Structure 1
Amino acid sequence: MASQHKNIVLLIADDLGQYIGSYGCASISTPNLDRLAASGTQFTNAFASTTSCSGSRSTIFTGLHTHENGQYGLNWFKTHFQTFQHIDSAPKLFSQAGYKTGIIGKVHVGPDEVYSWQVREESGTRDVAWVADRCEAFFEEARADERPFFLTVGYIDPHRDVSTRGGFGNHEEQYGSRVPLLDVKPEDVEVPRWLTDLPEMRQELVEYYKAINRTDTGVGLVYDALERQGLLDNTLVIFTSDNGPPFVNSKTTLYDAGIKLPLIVQQPSGKSGIVNPNMVSFIDILPTLLKWAELPLDLRSSDRDSRSPASPDRQGRSFLTILERADLLPDSDWQHHIFGSHTFHEMQNYWPTRILRTRHYKYHRNVAWRLDFPFAADLYASISFEGIRNTDSPVVIGRRILKDYIFRPPEELYDLENDADEVRNLAGEKEHENRLLEFRERVTEWQKLTNDLWLYRDGQSLTVNSRYAKDGLQIPERLDFDVNSPGTKGVVMTKHLTVDGYSAGIEK
């Protein structure tokens, strides 16, 4: 007999952008994801908050941006970025609510005390058949326990095989013998506008396509396991990715190629084939899961040490209420903007950026703009980038000049309706001055709301220096420190340095 609990299966691909048939990529083979989209809702404007594996997963699991939850970069042994101990997470909250919680496959967040799944089968395998077997065993155990469940499935695919320069794990010892490998040729792949069409690029995309198809196969196997167990009628199924494709101009950037991602949701007894154009953020996923489970959206952990700070208030919204809308809701009914926050990838990839994206415009605040934009190691070493950098001058990545990729200004403003590739920077143009100032102020207010350490003026953190405001410290409103004119006399001072406002959690 089918369980009547309200269950959740969250499927997370690794480094998959919108390379999915239902998202308009006709050259890729993703029949299972296409089937999932056809039976549920496909969001066309879903955005990650950040564009690095660990950070993005932490935003999904906590409903908080990385500068709020502390997962500033990769939870890798050499960098060891980890979420703050006092942060509430989905596995902790759902376990507290009586759910059987589990994760199978890639985890990539820490520490274990924050992400306290009851069942943790961490694995770096690309054998999606094995993953599906373990999922079905989890489903059977949950049924035997007569408990609702929340299972996360973390796929390694289609991430690069970081031990090679252009591979994506397409060797049988990595993916097993039960999963067929897609037959694809260089002329079959689709090179997006933000990449450069070169033989080296097509060579890597061939391998990428194979890994994407394997992800799709894995999703189908898990879906079939749910069906066999009689659980489809009461399980919310969500599929997404942590960040965009593992190529330059995408992953580790907050350009749309890095953060505009697939989000497919199948709700039992819901409408099918919905293409939803409304903007949603990954910080909205946890509130949506809580709403589905009929739990309070402001649910907090009950085991917090009274001496530690409280987990910050979540700013995300449940999109369950608009799940079946195929129309664009008015501003009064749904918020049509998202914020983003990226600080690290690997330890050496420090380049903090904050963004505001509306339906029409995109604003980037590049805090450390005087630094070269850093390459993730696997992207720098890739065969595709070697091909790009050895083309005739001026070297371009897609439509972006390589020089503009490496050297970026303190602010960027783009008209997305006329410049979807984010190439023509409008910051500094007189006719867009008011909009630039408006967006800068909106990002500043959001940074204050979220206690962002990287809210900078005069090259300093206002959040940290707020402790000295009571002693009369004033800080110039300019973004960066001016070494040619460092004085403060006659200079406009920022209104954002306050005595009481937003220094909670900063050591006094």
Structure 2
Amino acid sequence: MPDKPNIVFIMSDDLGSASSFTGTQGVNTPHFDRVAREGMFYSRCYATAPTCAPSRTAIFTGMYPTELNAQHHHSEPDFPDYVKHLAEHLRAGAGYYTANVVKTPDKYPFITIGKRDYCWSRQHDPSIYDGDDYAELSTHQPFFAEFQIFEPHVPHHSLQRYAAEGLGVDPEQVELPPYYPDTTETRRIWARYLCAVQVFDAKVGMVLDMLEGDGLLDDTIVVVLTDHGRDMPRAKCSLYDAGIHVPLAIRIPAKYRPADYAPGTISDRLISGVDIAPTMLSLAGIDPPPFLAGAPFLGSRAQVRPLAFAHRDRVLTHIDRMRAVTDGRYHYIRNYMPNQPAIPAAVLRTDLEVMTDDMALEMLRLRAEGQLTPEQEDVLAEVRPDEQLFDNESDPHQLHNLADDPQYLPILRRMRTALQLWIAQTQDKGFLPEPAEAAQKGAWAVPLWQQVTKGEYDVEDYGVYDLPASPEFAQMFQ
């Protein structure tokens, strides 16, 4: 038994909040549910960004991307030397062996692509990790290991393909958010997303099975998390709850549990993505560096967070600047470029399967036919309000903007001021112009996808489990 706990991250790409544990209709996620049930589930965890690269930068550095000039999606800025990856802190501070696992036992389907995808010039630096082979973990304890799982990122398989693997979802059994139209096609799109969520959950089960079979589970903290919301309009790329409110489940073996950890419970304490790295350092017995923006939420060093902040800047060729703050109940969004459309153009390209948003395309078709409600029309808005304020308790889908309601003026002022102070205190670099060369490089997805697929990619050519093993995905996401 190691003196310190092993730590395993099982991380999804674009998960959103769907799970049977949280009551999502039509989906079954027994393995995620197990971690949440045997561990603690955190119901108020917020990503710092609604796209993968900046959000993952915050998770693994414990610092806001906006203070590191890492706010733009797929940018690669240099950081000061003191900024380190969580894996590097664990290795230097407590001798952890670190791995971004790619190689797994033969009896398991392909589980992980070893994704990094940070907004950082060092994202491909081989020195961040010691290895990538699961087989090395048992002889190198304590270890920190990531299992970076692709699902439920698009593209999705057909419903028939998922059903053939025992992962089918009945479109008639799902429940759509009210800001999406309820039609046969939108139900099928939503059901395919839930099928992909079940693929992720199956892979969670595989990782748990490996750890349990090798006698490692009782020595290992298991963290199941994601980077941001689902790959659909008003979620990914947006600062609404659906874009940044994410599930977090942590299972800690009895011998490593801090006094404030209560297995089998749901915590409503507010958590930001920047808090995850310092919490893991604290659980490993390491004092988090004082310059980290985040703070532990477990253990003797735990701090209470009153507010969680988030940002959204350039994504591919879509230039935007949004900031948000929430106290868990009230959710304030500031749109600094309200004339920018809500939907990034890249997600409307059907030849860019790794980005294509079928829900957005279907909603555009329905709008042309006059079949959307005002709330659904708003999802596709070409112009947005300068300020938005929502009460999550009375309006969980955030349909009613309270920013112009005099009754809520004190709350609006409080949230607006808190956001302004955060921008000032973190020296938010998003208000500086991005160099043209960096922006051009950050829009790499379109030409690279066309180059590596040569227009011949078809998601159905790959199995449900080994989709990310294709060379296209390996190149796109490494």
TM-score of the pair, normalised by structure 2: 0.77
Q: How does 1:52-63 map to 2 (within 5 A)?
A: 52-63=51-62
Aligned to 1:416: 392
Give the residue type in structure 1 aligned to 2:185: E
* Percent identity of paired positions between Structure 1 and Structure 2: 27
- Aligned residue for 1:304? none
2:90 to 87, 94, 112: 94
The code of the aligned residue for 1:265 comes to: I
Alignment map for 1:322-401 (pairs within 5 Å): 334-346=304-316, 348-375=317-344, 377-378=346-347, 381-391=356-366, 396=372, 399-401=375-377
Aligned position for 1:229: 214
| Alignment-mate amino acid for residue 316 of structure 1 | G
Q: d(CA) in 1 for partners of 2:177 and 2:267?
A: 22
Show CA shifts across 1:153-173 (max 9, x none).
Answer: 111111002xxxxx348898x
Q: Is the 8 A contact 2:307 2:328 kept in 1?
A: yes
Using the TM superposition, name which of 313-322 and 278-287 deviates more: 313-322
Letter of the structure 2 residue corresponding to residue 352 of structure 1: R
Q: Is the 8 A contact 1:3 1:231 kept in 2?
A: no
| C-alpha distance in structure 2 between counterparts of 1:444 and 1:390, whole Å | 39
The Cα of 1:379 is off from its aligned counterpart by: 5.6
Deviation at 1:244, TM superposition (A): 0.8
1:126-165 pair list within 5 angstroms: 134-135=133-134, 137-140=135-138, 143=139, 145=140, 147-161=141-155
In the alignment, the residues of structure 2 paired with residue 441 and residue 389 of structure 1 have an alpha-carbon distance, to the nearest angstrom, of 36
Cα 1:379–1:420 shift into 2, 3 Å: farther
**CA separation of 1:451 and 1:150: change in aligned 2, threshold 3 A:** same
Q: Is 1:107 paired with 2:116?
A: yes
Counterpart of 2:39 in structure 1 is 40
- Tell me how far apart the structure 2 counterparts of residues 454 and 32 of structure 1 sit (CA, whole Å): 39
CA–CA distance in 2 between the matches of 1:398 and 1:318? 42
* Structure 1 letter corresponding to 2:49: T
Q: Which residue of 2 aligns with 1:329?
A: none
Equivalent in the alignment of 1:184 = 169
Contact 1:350 1:374 in 2 (8 A): no
Map 1:265-276 to 2 at 5 A: 265-269=250-254, 270=257, 271-276=262-267
Deviations 1:7-39 (A, max 9, x none): 110111011111111111242111111111110
Does residue 1:320 correspond to 2:330, yes or no?
no
What does 1:459-478 align with in structure 2 at a 5 Å threshold? none
| Displacement after TM superposition at 1:243 (Å) | 0.9
Match in the other structure for 1:308: none
Count of residue pairs brought into register by the alignment: 404
Cα pair distance change 1:85/1:156, threshold 3 Å = farther
Task: Return the alpha-carbon distance in structure 2 between the equivalents of residues 25 and 323 of structure 1.
Answer: 34
Conserved 8 A contact 1:46-1:263? yes
Paired AA for residue 362 in structure 1: H
Distance in 2 (alpha carbons) for counterparts of 1:323 and 1:23: 29
Contact 1:247 1:379 in 2 (8 A): no
Q: Secondary structure at the match of 2:320?
A: strand
Unpaired runs of 5+ in structure 2? 102-112, 350-355, 435-478
Offset at 1:284? 0.7
Q: Give the AA of the match of 1:315.
A: A
Determine the structure 2 residue equivalent to 1:290: 281
Q: Residues 278, 449 of structure 1: CA spacing in aligned structure 2 closer, same or farther, 3 A cutoff?
A: same
CA gap of 1:383–1:448, structure 2 versus 1, over 3 A, is closer
1:387-434 Cα deviation digits (max 9, x unpaired): 212326766489343377331122212222222222222223333333
Displacement of 1:89 in angstroms is 1.8
Native 8 Å contact 2:50 2:236 kept in 1: yes
Q: Larger deviation: 268-277 or 387-396?
A: 387-396
Aligned residue in 2 for 1:256: 241
Identify if the C-alpha distance between structure 1 residues 406 and 119 changes in structure 2 by more than 3 Å, giving closer, same or farther: farther
Structure 2 counterpart of 1:18: 17
Alpha-carbon contact 1:447-1:455 (below 8 Å) kept: no
Q: After the TM superposition, which of the residue ranges 57-66 and 206-215 deviates more from structure 2?
A: 206-215
1:84 paired with 2:79, answer yes
Tell me if the contact between 2:27 and 2:195 (Cα under 8 Å) persists in the aligned partners: no
2:415 to 431, 439, 446: 439
Indicate how the Cα distance of structure 1 residues 4 and 226 shifts in structure 2: closer, same or farther if over 3 A, else same.
farther
Partners in 2 of 1:73 and 1:171 — Cα distance?
Answer: 37
Per the TM alignment, residue 242 of structure 1 is displaced from its structure 2 partner at its CA by 0.8
Q: Which amino acid aligns with 1:266?
A: R
Residue 459 of structure 2 corresponds to none
**Is the 2:64–2:293 contact (alpha carbons within 8 Å) kept by the matching residues of 1?**
no
Matched, 1:240 2:234: no
Inter-partner Cα distance in structure 2 for 1:74 and 1:199: 33
Note the C-alpha offset of 1:83: 5.8
Distance in 2 separating the partners of 1:8 and 1:170: 35
Matched position secondary structure for 1:111:
coil
Relative contact order higher in (CA < 8 Å, ≥ 6 apart): 2
What CA distance in whole angstroms lies between the structure 1 residues aligned with 2:248 and 2:160?
29
Q: Does residue 452 in structure 1 map to residue 437 in structure 2?
A: no
Is 1:63–1:285's contact at 8 Å kept on the other side of the alignment? yes
